[in-house]
Amino acid sequence: MPNRNMDVERIVGQFRRFGPVGPVYEVLGVVRSLDDYDALLRVRIIETGEEAEYRYSHAVDDPKEN
């Protein structure tokens, strides 16, 4: 994986927002590595409790929530 993805585990447990005004989500864990040097994460959307899969490359670009 490229350097950007080397610390994919460090994002687990963080709260982030889908873009500048989207809903807040919590990163629950890493599902698997992908062939395109990315990883798939399991996230929970706080507003709804829904869980979904989301690309690491997208999550690291999303703003952190405190």
Walk along the chain (66 residues) and give the pLDDT tens digit of each residue: 444 545 899 999 999 999 999 999 999 999 999 988 899 999 999 999 999 999 999 999 999 998
| Residue 35 placed within a domain | yes
pLDDT digits (tens, 9 = 90+) for 21-35: 999 999 999 999 998
CA distances from 59 to 22, 23, 41, 64 (A): 12, 13, 9, 9
| Residue 15 placed within a domain | yes
pTM of the model: 0.87
| Residue 64 placed within a domain | no
Residue 52 structural domain: 3-59
The tokens describing 27, both together, are 């990163």
Chain position carrying tokens 């690491």: 56
In sequence order, the β-bridge partners of residue 32 are 40
For residue 21, what is the domain's CATH number?
2.30.30
Q: What is the pLDDT of residue 66?
A: 81
| Residue 66 placed within a domain | no
Query: Per the structure, how many domains does the chain have?
Result: 1
| Residue 13 placed within a domain | yes
